[in-house]
Chains A and B, each alone.
Chain A
Amino acid sequence: MVTLSGRAAEVMEWLREVKDPEVPVVDIVELGIVRGAEVEGDRVRVDVTPTYSGCPAMRVIEEEIVAALRARGMGEVTVRTVFQPPWTTDWMTDEAKRKLAEYGIAPPGPATEEDPIQLGPTVRALACPFCGSEDTEVRSRFGSTACKSLHYCNACHQPFEHFKAI
């Protein structure tokens, strides 16, 4: 999360109307991808950082930022993409993680870097978002969108998705 004052803070509040198009229960501010806003008169520049390099939702998000701020009376809205520092799921608010779990997606844990060639099951047991059991297994590290992986719960026999820690 980014703390801002005055009009920029107001713009940040307005930006909470823009949801992640692939996970529509969380907004882009609590997702941690809005890195700042600068307001001058009716002109505003919003800094956004991508979740994944090839995330196809980024363009839609940019368009929705422009539309949301225009609707609030801003004249010129520009969206700047920033890369440094790179986005991490650690920037997601606890509230966003709770919403993900409620939506049926296991939220990310802390983004600790595991040894990429130390193979086998992941160290951290993932709780099933439906029944809470930790008797779950990875089906695939890649899922329906760049940010998710596929899992299976051995207790309630439900497949579920996990928002990968990155």
Chain B
Amino acid sequence: MTDRDAALFDCLLGLGDDRLVLGHVLSQWCGHGPVLEEDIACANIALDLIGQATLFLGMAGDVEGKGRDADALAYFRDAVDFRNHPLVELPRGDYAFTMVRQFLFSSFAFQVLGGLERSSHQELAGIAAKAAKENRYHLRHAAEWVVRMGDGTEESHSRAQAALDEAWRWTGTLFMPGPGEDLLTAEGIAPSLPALEPAWRAMVAEVTERATLALPEEPAPTGAGYRRADQTEHLGLLLAEMQIVARSHPGAEW
């Protein structure tokens, strides 16, 4: 692979892994949602995210050129090779945490997909444009819940605030450029992540203010730098559950 393709491969893994992991965590609400409508909403959003992951990972496999498809990348890589942000691998928590995290991620995705829609890479632009349409529904749904819970009862407010305080700590790496990002921005393949952060902050500030929630004043820690170095213990457990069937019966079809 050229340096540019290696950077693109890493970027696509990041996009795919974020969605695969978050989709899996969110799917854990299926059958356990607080009300039927939310059970269905979480399953739908998880389905969209896993569908997007399939497309980004499939494209990553093509760029890598070693014959790995989306399934091979999803089920046969170990935790150390995942490129997701730690924010998405945290356990689902209560519904306040689920929706606050969902809001922080969807608003982040809103910025990133908006940039990728204009990518000079036609296939990537097409996948991003489709994902962006789906993400608008996710974002609106999550933002409504953040406001409903934040500006709700004393109990829902305190839970939403606790969720924001916890989730916020994991947002520090969201806009960190991946390795070789300059190679991708130079050719107009991907947007520069740090440049997207101010618009994201403004959106988060607007919704949290309406939700009467206080954004933590301390900047979120950026940890050791890039995503992988900041993995939590949760990813390994999550992957063990997600990958066990595929690894026990490699090549199985149903």
Contact = CB atoms under 8 A, between A and B. Distances in A.
Contacts of B137: 141-142, 164, 166
Nearest to A145: B44
Contact of B130 (A83, A119, A143, A150): A83
A53 B134 contact: yes
A140 interface: yes
Given A117-B140, A119-B143, A53 B131 contact: yes
Interface in A44-66: 50, 52-56
B51 A53 contact: yes
Interface in B200-216: 203, 206-207, 210
Nearest to A144: B40
A6 interface: no
Interface of B: 37-38, 40-41, 43-45, 47-52, 54-55, 107, 110, 122-123, 125-127, 129-131, 133-134, 136-137, 139-141, 143-144, 147, 203, 206-207, 210
Contacts of B47: 52, 54, 56, 146
Would you list the 9 A-B pairs with minimal beta carbon distance, nearest first? A54-B51, A83-B126, A84-B126, A53-B51, A140-B37, A142-B44, A142-B41, A54-B47, A86-B130
Interface of A is mostly: loop
A85 B126 contact: yes
Nearest to A164: B137
A139 interface: yes
A164 B203 CA distance: 25
B48 A84 contact: no
A165 B83 CA distance: 33
A146 B48 contact: yes
A150 B166 CA distance: 32
A117 B49 contact: no
A82 interface: yes
B67 to A, nearest CB: 19
Contact of B206 (A52, A86, A117, A164): A117
Contacts of B110: 116
A142 B207 CA distance: 21
A119 B126 contact: no
Nearest to B58: A81
Given A82-B126, A117-B140, A143-B44, 5 more contacts: A54-B51, A83-B123, A86-B133, A140-B40, A142-B41
Contacts of B45: 142
A113 interface: yes
A54 B50 contact: yes
Contacts of A88: 133
23 contacts: A52-B130, A52-B134, A53-B130, A53-B134, A54-B50, A54-B52, A83-B55, A83-B127, A84-B125, A84-B129, A86-B130, A86-B133, A88-B133, A117-B139, A117-B203, A117-B207, A141-B41, A142-B37, A142-B40, A142-B43, A142-B45, A144-B40, A164-B137
